[in-house]
């Protein structure tokens, strides 16, 4: 997918700063039968947790062992994946491996409950050994990827960190306020190139929003899209709404939507057309008609949906 370049842009903001909206995350506490020390622990001594972890680590591949857990005649343990690879020889003592299960360790493994690895970022959830990895892939406290358009940036972090990163490292314009009026100018709208993704960040309702303006090819036709992403998770994003409009010469296109979470990549939002889409001919019409320059004035507003 190719993009159409945007050379220049200008924004005006109303500067209205909305008050605090306290949003607290619900934290879940679970009871558990065998709790192991969390990453927050400052205890340098070998805790019982650490030694149980070591017992459950396969000596060959270093992964956590799940039942069936095997052992040799001398009691050296091995995970079931490694067992298939070692030609019936214990990797530790070279004796014949046989087919002996280590039932005691299997029982420890299934009784184990572990804190989410993002506990230091605020997740209080405790999981059975088996479902911990599954949770961590979806954990609400997992760091966010940098929302800068494109996939070149691999920076991850929490929202305040990413706001600073966008400002300092990507030189993204930061605006305060819930309304905006932005002029996108491109001198040669026929040119299709890769430097076409514009990002601005808006700070209102004590939250951060990313306004994207991108050009792409829909089939053979260049198309422009503007959309808003929320710097936070999808549940929080649904508490807001936004409106974008673009027009000139008595015509106007209006889009109203819900911001998408930055958990969804800009590419995913663009591919789902979840935003204000401006066809090339309409964009040129709005630009004033000489077809030499693209000049789109996008006005918008973000609001907080009434909670019932
Ligand atoms: Zn192994
Ligand atoms: Zn052995
Ligand atoms: Zn978690
Ligand atoms: Zn970045």
End-to-end Cα separation, the chain, in angstroms:
41
The residue among 82, 115, 138 that closes a domain is 138
Measured in angstroms, how far is the CA atom of residue 298 from the centroid of ligand 4? 25
Predicted confidence at residue 9, as pLDDT, reads: 46
Given phi > 0 = left and psi -120 to 50 = alpha, else beta, which region is 87?
Answer: left
pLDDT score recorded for residue 159:
95
pLDDT digits (tens, 9 = 90+) for 212-229: 998 888 888 889 999 999
Q: Phi and psi of 102, rounded to 5°?
A: -105, 85
CB 246 within 8 A of CB 252: yes
**Is residue 134 domain-resident?**
yes
Residue 167 and residue 20 share a domain: yes
**Residue 3 near residue 196, CB atoms below 8 Å:** yes
Adjacency order of strands within the sheet including 294-304: 8-13, 179-186, 294-304, 240-248, 251-257
Q: Encoding tokens for residue 180?
A: 């905006």
Over residues 49-53, mean pLDDT: 72
Task: Kindly state whether residues 214 and 168 are assigned to the same domain.
Answer: yes
10: confidence class by pLDDT, cuts 50, 70, 90: very low
Distance from Cα 186 to the centre of ligand 4, integer Å: 24
**pTM for this prediction:** 0.67
For range 234-252, the mean pLDDT: 94
Contact 222, 172 (CB under 8 A): no
Q: Ligand 2 centroid vs 85 CA: distance in angstroms?
A: 15
- 59 Cα–ligand 1 center, Å: 7
pLDDT at position 231, please? 97
Ligand closest to 61 (CA) is 1
- Using 50, 70 and 90 to split pLDDT, how confident is the model at 5? very low
216: containing domain = 8-24+142-304
Residues 6 or more apart whose CB falls under 8 angstroms from that of 165 comprise 146, 155, 157
d(CA 240, CA 227): 13
Distance CA 78, CA 60 (A): 7
Instruction: Identify the residue with better confidence: 182 or 161.
Output: 161
8-state DSSP, 166: H
The residue among 79 and 129 whose pLDDT is bigger is: 79
Element (H, E) at 50: helix 48-55
Could you tell me if residue 40 is inside a domain?
A: no
CA–CA gap between residue 70 and residue 140 (Å, rounded): 36
Residue 294: per-residue pLDDT: 82
Task: State how many domains the chain has.
Answer: 2
The reply to whether 20 and 106 lie within a common domain is: no
* Residue 289 pLDDT grade (very low, low, confident, very high; cuts 50, 70, 90): low
- How far is residue 71's CA from residue 98's CA, in Å, rounded to a whole number? 8
For residue 234, the model assigns a pLDDT of: 94
CATH number at residue 125: 3.30.40.10
6-20, 89-103, 110-124: least confidently modelled range: 6-20
Q: Which ligand is nearest to the CA of 172?
A: 4
The yes-or-no verdict on residue 256 having pLDDT over 80 is: yes
Percent of the chain with pLDDT over 90: 50
pLDDT at 219: 82
Give every CB contact of residue 302 below 8 A, 6+ residues apart in sequence.
178, 179, 202, 204, 205, 209, 228, 240, 241, 242, 259
**CA–CA distance from 284 to each of 38, 186, 246, 278, 291 (Å)?**
58, 11, 12, 10, 6
Closest ligand to residue 147's CA: 4
Q: Which pLDDT belongs to residue 303? A: 97
Residue 77 confidence (pLDDT): 94
Residue 29 lies in a domain: no
Average confidence (pLDDT) over 162-188? 91
For residues 151 and 273, membership in a common domain is answered with yes
- Residue 153 alpha carbon to ligand 4 centre in Å: 5
Please give the pLDDT value at position 190. 60
Whole-number Å distance between alpha carbons of 200 and 229: 10
Task: Say what the pLDDT of residue 109 is.
Answer: 86
Mean residue pLDDT of the chain comes to 82
Same domain, 163 and 297: yes
Read off the tokens for 177. 């306020």
**Mean pLDDT of the 247-272 span:** 93
Residue 275's SS3 state is coil
Would you say 236 and 218 are in contact if contact means Cβ atoms under 8 Å apart?
Answer: no
The answer to whether residues 124 and 214 belong to one domain is no
Distance (Å) from CA 151 to ligand 4 centroid: 9
Distance 112 CA to ligand 3 centre (A): 16
> Which domain-ending residue is among 110, 138, 166?
138
Ligand nearest to the CA of 58: 1
Q: Which of 4-13, 48-57, 183-192 has the highest mean pLDDT?
A: 48-57
Q: What is the mean pLDDT of residues 56-76?
A: 90
Is 31 inside a domain boundary? no
How close is the Cα of 7 to the center of ligand 1, in Å? 54
CA distance 240 to 232: 12
Which listed ligand is nearest to 114 at the C-alpha? 3
- If you measure from the C-alpha of residue 79 to the centroid of ligand 1, how many angstroms do you get, rounded to a whole number? 4
Q: What residues contact residue 238 under an 8 Å CB cut-off, 6+ apart?
A: 258, 305
Report how far residue 114's alpha carbon sits from residue 36's, in angstroms, rounded to the nearest whole number.
Answer: 6
The pLDDT of 106-111, averaged and rounded, is: 88
């Amino acid at each position: 997918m190719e993009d159409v370049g945007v050379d220049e842009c200008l924004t005006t903001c109303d500067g209205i700063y909305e008050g605090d909206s306290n949003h607290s995350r619900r934290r879940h506490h679970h009871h558990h039968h065998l709790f192991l020390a969390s990453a927050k622990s400052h205890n340098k001594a070998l805790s019982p947790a650490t030694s149980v972890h070591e017992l459950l680590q396969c000596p060959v591949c270093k992964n956590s062992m799940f039942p069936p857990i095997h052992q040799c005649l001398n009691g050296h343990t091995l995970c079931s994946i490694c067992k298939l690879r070692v030609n019936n020889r214990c990797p530790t003592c070279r004796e014949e491996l046989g087919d002996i299960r280590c039932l005691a360790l299997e029982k420890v493994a299934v009784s184990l409950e572990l804190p989410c690895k993002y506990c230091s970022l605020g997740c209080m959830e405790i999981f059975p050994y088996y479902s911990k990895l599954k949770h961590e892939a979806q954990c609400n406290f997992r760091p966010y990827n940098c929302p800068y358009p494109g996939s070149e940036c691999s920076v991850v972090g929490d929202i305040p960190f990413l706001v600073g990163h966008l400002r300092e490292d990507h030189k993204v314009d930061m605006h305060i306020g819930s309304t905006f009026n932005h002029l996108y100018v491109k001198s040669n709208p026929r040119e299709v190139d890769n430097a076409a993704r514009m990002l601005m960040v808006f700070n209102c309702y004590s939250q951060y929003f990313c306004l994207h303006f991108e050009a792409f090819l829909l089939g053979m036709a260049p198309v422009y899209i503007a959309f808003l992403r929320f710097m936070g998770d999808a549940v929080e994003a649904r508490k807001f709404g936004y409106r974008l409009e673009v027009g000139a010469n008595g015509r106007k296109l209006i889009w109203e939507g819900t911001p998408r979470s930055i958990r969804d990549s800009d590419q995913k939002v663009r591919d789902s057309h979840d935003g204000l889409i401006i066809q090339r001919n309409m964009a040129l019409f709005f630009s004033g008609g000489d077809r030499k320059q693209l000049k789109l004035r996008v006005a918008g507003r973000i609001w907080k949906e009434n909670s019932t």
